[in-house]
Amino acid sequence: MRYMKRDKALVIFSGGQDSTTCLFWALRHFREVHTITFSYGQKHSSEIEAARVIAGKAGVDFFLSDVTQIASIGKSSLTDSSIGMDTVKPADGCPNTFVPGRNFFFLGMAAVYARELGISDLVTGVSQTDFSGYPDCRDSFIRSLNVTLNLALDSQFVIHTPLMWLDKAQTWALADRLGVLDLVRTDTVTCYNGVPGNGCGNCPSCRLRNAGLAEYLENREAVSASLADMI
């Protein structure tokens, strides 16, 4: 075995492609894995249901935390159906699919829950490579928050971001290397319109996901080889 398995980890789990891949990455690296899923006022409950089903298949516990207040204090087209969804990134900022503070709140609440479970390793599927302008997906934010959480809770958390420097094709390759390519393709919900699997095909999230999959399937061996050090 390349790595000694560490003790316990908590995965911030949305039921989408990225966090599902992170869940199975965590199962490879930790002896005991827990998940936390947030109901943050997202328009489509299908992703929460996907998370529940996938957690069951993975044999890990599923904890749903209700943080719908997030949608009442910040505006996003993912939580407010009266806002038309940006389909391209605006020149002057991030698209309105950004949910202000989402990863900040999620990681803060996950850290508190992890502390209750005696867990110091947190896993999140954020990625800077496919950065849509979301500031809370950047490595600098995660590193800064890690320090802040340690100070806030007098703990020694380690926030793992296995996808931080991977593009979408590499994320598909990682799922394949972990033996869950088909599960991620069919069971996850990444679509901003809440359509499971391959999704609606038209929203920005579907376009990114499907282009990454096509790129991976065309260059399977080369993309997979680029991950040789990961698992």
C-alpha dist (Å) from residue 68 to 13, 49, 202, 209, 211: 16, 16, 27, 26, 32
Q: Which residues bind Zn ion (CB under 5 A)?
A: 191, 193, 199-200, 203, 206
Which CB atom, from 29 or from 209, has the smaller least distance to Zn ion? 209
Which CB atom, from 132 or from 193, has the smaller least distance to Zn ion? 193
Which CB atom, from 161 or from 205, has the smaller least distance to Zn ion? 205
- Taking the complex as a whole, the smallest distance from the CB of residue 46 to Zn ion amounts, in Å, to 11
- Taking the complex as a whole, the smallest distance from the CB of residue 79 to Zn ion amounts, in Å, to 16
- Taking the complex as a whole, the smallest distance from the CB of residue 75 to Zn ion amounts, in Å, to 20
Distance CA 150, CA 120 (A): 10
DSSP 8-state assignment for residue 85: P
Which CB atom, from 78 or from 203, has the smaller least distance to Zn ion? 203
Distance CA 3, CA 12 (A): 22
Which CB atom, from 85 or from 231, has the smaller least distance to Zn ion? 85
Q: Is 4 helix (H, G, I), strand (E, B) or coil?
A: coil
Which CB atom, from 46 or from 150, has the smaller least distance to Zn ion? 46
Distance CA 220, CA 212 (A): 11
Token reading at 228: 């040789």
Residue 148: left if φ>0, alpha if ψ -120 to 50, beta else—which one?
A: alpha
Token reading at 31: 């002896």
DSSP 168-196: HHHHHHHHHHTT-HHHHHHH----TT---
- Taking the complex as a whole, the smallest distance from the CB of residue 172 to Zn ion amounts, in Å, to 17
- Taking the complex as a whole, the smallest distance from the CB of residue 37 to Zn ion amounts, in Å, to 20
- Taking the complex as a whole, the smallest distance from the CB of residue 198 to Zn ion amounts, in Å, to 9
